[in-house]
Amino acid sequence: MLHIFLTILKIPFLLLAVLLLLVLILLALILFVPVRYQALAQKQEGLSVHAKVHWLCRILTVKADFEEKQFSLCVKILGIPVVGGEKKNSAAQPSLEEDSEQSAQQEETLQSDIAQMLTEEEDEKQENSPVQTLTEEDSGQSAQPEESLQSDSIQTPLEKGIEEQKSDPAHALPEKDSTGDRQAVHPMRPGLLQRIRGVAQKIRNTAAGFLEKIRAVRNNLSNLRAKLVSYRDLWYDESTQHAYRHVKKELRYLLRHYLPGKAEGQVLFGTGDPAVTGQILGICSILQVWTENRLEFAADFEEKVLEADGQLRGHIRLCHLLKSGLGLLLDRHVRRTVGCIRRMIQT
């Protein structure tokens, strides 16, 4: 009985151990199995680039192609396309064609509706325009009211103008004094002293605004100078220099492991000017020696041309990135420098 009870207690611990083992295996695969990448580029009449990234025996594959100014992306999991793929592209083409046909039909219907609306408006205008056919009698009878209307239209503005002049004191006639002469009435104008005061106030305001701008520029320059001094002190601080050396060391470590292990290519170029082409070839020869002749350069001294063909391969392991990240996080000099930079940015 006790043996059965112990075996029952062992079951959850066994399941927990199996789960932990699976998690450790997954972490090991993620950290130590490399992500391999390769790229191929060609430049002749046009530029074409093909890149491919795969992980864990091609369980996850990502392809990117750029050719004839068109970009395509395809993501596959266990060989099954998840993003992109030929099927999806082929299915997408008829939908695009249908959308273009629908848009063309909509444009045609809109144009026809606009044309109908314009014709209807023209017809309404023609119907509303009065066409009068007057006889001699009608013209004789209608002449009198027209003359009366014209006389009214001429007289009414004159009368209105006279009334306005009478009511407006500015246009009123000058009154007669005791001698019988009319006094000249002049409109009130600001005096010379008021004008001088207004000009002086404007000059005072412009001078005050100019002085405020000078003070603002001076304050900005003083703040900038203080920030530059603080940045200089931070740069020459001992902990900052230690953090800088540590970061540079980790970057070199990552570049040594992440740069492509195999890179080769051929480049043919020409500028049309033999002197310039020779100078560029001299610079490229140094690069060719640095790449151990894996990148070859050739020059055309007669024509202007640029052709290239190259490929590269490499791999990335996340364990190197984890090692560098943990090393930087555990360094107290790096933490102190990051804190100082953050405080300076916030202020």
336 CB-near residues (< 8 Å, 6+ apart): 239, 243
* Beta-strand pair 262-271/70-77: unpaired
pLDDT of residue 94: 44
Cα–Cα distance for residue pair 129/220, rounded to 1 Å: 71
Tokens 């300076």 correspond to 344
How distant, in Å, are the alpha carbons of 35, 101, 107, 108, 123 from that of 112? 59, 17, 9, 6, 17
pLDDT of residue 294: 87
Collapse the DSSP code of 177 into the 3-class scheme (helix H, G, I; strand E, B; otherwise coil) and give the result.
coil
The end-to-end CA distance of the chain, in Å, is 72
Give pLDDT < 50 ranges for the chain.
Answer: 87-96, 130-158, 161-162, 164-166, 168-188
Q: Are 269 and 277 in contact (CB under 8 A)?
A: yes
Q: Where does the chain show beta strands of DSSP type E?
A: 35-43, 47-55, 60-67, 70-77, 80-83, 262-271, 295-299, 304-316
Collapse the DSSP code of 59 into the 3-class scheme (helix H, G, I; strand E, B; otherwise coil) and give the result.
coil
pLDDT of residue 125: 58
pLDDT of residue 340: 92
pLDDT of residue 198: 87
How distant, in Å, are the alpha carbons of 9, 77, 95, 167 from that of 102? 69, 36, 10, 70
Order the strands of the 295-299 sheet from edge to edge.
80-83, 70-77, 60-67, 47-55, 35-43, 304-316, 262-271, 295-299
**70: alpha, beta or left? (left if phi > 0; alpha if psi -120 to 50):** beta
Q: What is the DSSP string of 272-300?
A: S-HHHHHHHHHHHHHHHHHTTTSEEEEE-
Query: How far from chain centre, in Å, is Cα 264?
Result: 36
Cα–Cα distance for residue pair 188/183, rounded to 1 Å: 15
**Model confidence pLDDT, tens digit, residues 78-88:** 889 999 865 44
pLDDT of residue 13: 87
pLDDT of residue 329: 94
The pTM (predicted TM-score) of the whole model is 0.58
b (16+ CB within 10 A) / e for 240-277: bebbeebbeebeeeeeebbeeeeebbebbbbbeeeeeb
